[in-house]
Amino acid sequence: MSERDVFEYAVLRVVPRVERGECFNAGVLVYCRAKSFVAARIHLDERKLLALDPGADVVGVRAALRAVEGVCHGGDGAGQAAGDDAGRRFRWLIAPRSTVVQPGVVHSGLTRDPEAEVERLLDVLVR
């Protein structure tokens, strides 16, 4: 039996009208220090978005979610975080903010495969 590693995760929430506080899950962030792994997967339900705010900027929300994925990948797509290690990028992404895309509470678990964990959490918590 292979060893399992600790991982941390947070749900990405879309809050179309911050002043109302209504939100829905649109992605997950996963970080595994032992593997220097950080990744995000998104699934934007446009019907939910437009139900909460018929005037929502769908293209803008999708771009904000893609930007989270870019920071996870690092390199040129990460902007100012380009040179940061996986842990710093994860910590920057989970910092509280008052924007349309917000991170939820950080949770932890054990996994043998962080990449598979991203997909499992997306299925369980978002889709």
Locate the domains of the chain by residue range: 5-125
Query: In this structure, are residues 123 and 25 in contact, taking their beta carbons and an 8 Å threshold?
Result: no
Least Cα distance to 101 among 43, 51, 48, 62 occurs for 62
- How far is it, in rounded angstroms, from Cα 81 to Cα 76? 9
Q: What is the pLDDT of residues 21-64, one digit of tens each?
A: 899 999 999 999 999 999 999 999 999 999 999 999 999 999 99
CB count, 10 Å around CB of 121? 23
Q: Is the pTM of this model over 0.75?
A: yes
**Helix %, strand %, coil % of the chain (to 5):** 45, 25, 30
